[in-house]
Amino acid sequence: MTALKFDFANCFSAAIGEKGLDEKNLAALREEIVAAVRHCNDTRGEGMTGWYELPYETEQVEKILNSAAAKKGKFDDVVVLGIGGSALGTIALRTALVHPFHNMLPNDKRGGLPRLHVLDNIDPDQLAAFFADVIDFSRTLFIVISKSGSTAETMSQFLLAVELIENKLGKDKIKDHLIAITDKAKGVLRPIADDWGLESYVIDDGVGGRFSVLSPVGLLPAALCGMDIEALLAGAAEMDEICKTEDFMKNPAALFAAIHFLADRDKNARLSVMMPYASGLKDVADWYCQLWAESLGKAVHDDGTPAFVGSTPVKALGATDQHSQVQMYTEGPFDKVTVFVGVEKFEKTLTIPSRFGTVDALAYLNGRTFNELMDAERVGTELALCEAHRMNMTITLPEVNANTVGQLFFMLEVATAIAGKLYKIDAFNQPGVEGGKIAAYAQMGRKGYEAKAKEIAARPAKNAKFLL
């Protein structure tokens, strides 16, 4: 494999002037950074850091590969029922690693591979349309993913899918068309899976949703659609080695975390914009948005004191969003760190045909390639941000493939863990998601939430002058 490259130079004042970080402050943070890396190394695999070991779970991988091989040619559609961490990794893998228009191709053009759908919402119009018009149940495999089995959105979809499979194919066919990925023992879905004799996979205790892409959650759908999950894990393992080093100036995850932390602390820059220059990486940015936001947006520090910290991730896509967001990035407030993700080599080289040789606004394109143009746009935007004194960094993938995407996932996961230590918060919980869930349960009449329902009903009326 070829390792990813990292360029952090444009975050510092030497490159972009006083709006950049002071190198001395990075040096002064040395002890904290080293302590954070060491903590991550020393506790790896413990508590909610089970994801550290996912690149090495060969037994699980073998089971997945066998299953995928056995199912080859039997399904036209794989449908993931899952939300958040059960969905975003698979979407990122699909966008990066299969044909860019995979789901739009007819069966005979996909080389025997099924389409891959991720139903990550509960929109009734979208769901009704999907089940009525998109799939043929007799050729469809559903994968329901929920660690607890109590995620309202996923379980509602599950109830609907089961009903439809039973109605269309018969009760005895459910187990041929449904796989469960859930906790090994706890929760609601495990006993159902066991009772019904479903093929099932385990999400380890120490693997939270947003750190689950390299578990069966991401690996099973990927393998079913022909992605090279062994290369994905090999990339992650290789990056794991790199990100262990306590010599933090050689550790990309540590620098990524430390720079974001300092940008926030020293420069009040609390936005992390991820902007890949490759359509295939668009949804890696989306996956990163969950990872970074849900891990670092926390109200309390480890010692219980108020925090209300976190840098908010924003996804963008080059070159597309140069025509949408870059105006804000170059001229708006100095509140962002932009993370470019470049690609050295695309699979195809595509030439821009030569025409209009005498038209000045077009002649320079003649005979050049889209590859060159993409590269010029990325570098051009980097230069423009530097001229505008904006912090930016670049991660470069030699190419977009399973190995490099595995590297990128793992680097960002370790960076998130290290950033959590620098912010002195728990990067692995998500207490802030509970409030909305509880209020939703109360409105839906779930048992045990009667008090909350009363509280909601008894809310004072809103100020009418603000209701239009």
Residues 157-196 binding a second copy (CB under 8 A) are 159-160, 162-163, 188, 192
Q: Which is nearer to a second copy, 64 or 118 (CB)?
A: 118
- Determine the 3-state secondary structure of 28 from DSSP: helix
Q: Which is nearer to a second copy, 216 or 310 (CB)?
A: 310
Q: Which of 441, 37, 57 is nearest to 253 (CA)?
A: 37
**Residue at token pair 């995979």:** 102
Q: Which of 34, 426, 416 is nearest to 261 (CA)?
A: 416
Stretch that binds a second copy, among 37-45, 59-67, 218-226, 331-339 (CB under 8 A): 331-339
Binding mask 39-78 for a second copy (x = CB under 8 A): ----------------------------------------
Stretch that binds a second copy, among 31-39, 136-144, 227-235, 381-389 (CB under 8 A): 381-389
Q: Which of 348, 352, 391 is nearest to 369 (CA)?
A: 352
- Paired sense of beta strands 115-119 and 77-81, if any: parallel
Largest CA distance in the chain: 75
- Determine the 3-state secondary structure of 298 from DSSP: strand
- Determine the 3-state secondary structure of 21 from DSSP: strand
Q: Is residue 100 near a second copy by the rule CB under 8 A?
A: yes
**Residue at token pair 């220059």:** 277
Q: Are 300 and 425 in contact (CB under 8 A)?
A: yes
Torsion of CA 62, 66, 71, 73, to 10 degrees: 100
Q: Of 173, 175, 437, 452, which one is the catalytic site residue?
A: 437
Which helix (H) or strand (E) element contains residue 339?
Answer: strand 336-343
Q: Which is nearer to a second copy, 24 or 462 (CB)?
A: 462
Q: Of 323, 348, 462, 465, which one is the catalytic site residue?
A: 323
Of 28, 35, 185, 359, the one binding a second copy (CB under 8 A) is: 359
Q: Is residue 310 near a second copy by the rule CB under 8 A?
A: yes
Residues in the interface with a second copy (CB under 8 A) total 154
CB of 205 to a second copy, least distance (A): 19
Residues facing residue 313 across a β-bridge:
272
Stretch that binds a second copy, among 30-38, 49-57, 122-130, 214-222 (CB under 8 A): 122-130
Of 139, 332, 450, 454, the one binding a second copy (CB under 8 A) is: 332
Whether 102 sits among the annotated catalytic residues: the reply is no
Of 53, 148, 183, 266, the one binding a second copy (CB under 8 A) is: 148
- Measure the CA–CA gap between 236 and 1, rounded to whole angstroms: 11
Chain residues 248-287 in contact with a second copy, contact rule CB under 8 A: 249-250, 252, 255, 270-271, 278-280
- Measure the CA–CA gap between 251 and 245, rounded to whole angstroms: 6
- Paired sense of beta strands 140-145 and 178-182, if any: parallel
**Measuring CA to CA, how many Å separate 327 from each of 52, 257, 323, 340?**
39, 26, 8, 16
Whether 323 sits among the annotated catalytic residues: the reply is yes
Q: Which residues contact 394 (CB under 8 A, 6 or more apart)?
A: 6, 7, 10, 339, 340, 341, 342, 382
Whether 294 sits among the annotated catalytic residues: the reply is yes
Q: Is residue 435 near a second copy by the rule CB under 8 A?
A: yes
Q: Which is nearer to a second copy, 35 or 444 (CB)?
A: 444
Stretch that binds a second copy, among 9-17, 37-45, 225-233, 412-420 (CB under 8 A): 9-17
Stretch that binds a second copy, among 43-51, 66-74, 176-184, 303-311 (CB under 8 A): 303-311
Q: Is residue 356 near a second copy by the rule CB under 8 A?
A: yes
What is the Cα 233 distance to its own chain's centre?
16
Peptide bond into 319 cis (omega under 30): yes
CB of 187 to a second copy, least distance (A): 8
Q: Which is nearer to a second copy, 61 or 278 (CB)?
A: 278
Q: Is residue 103 near a second copy by the rule CB under 8 A?
A: yes
Q: Is residue 199 near a second copy by the rule CB under 8 A?
A: no
Q: Which residues are catalytic?
A: 294, 323, 437
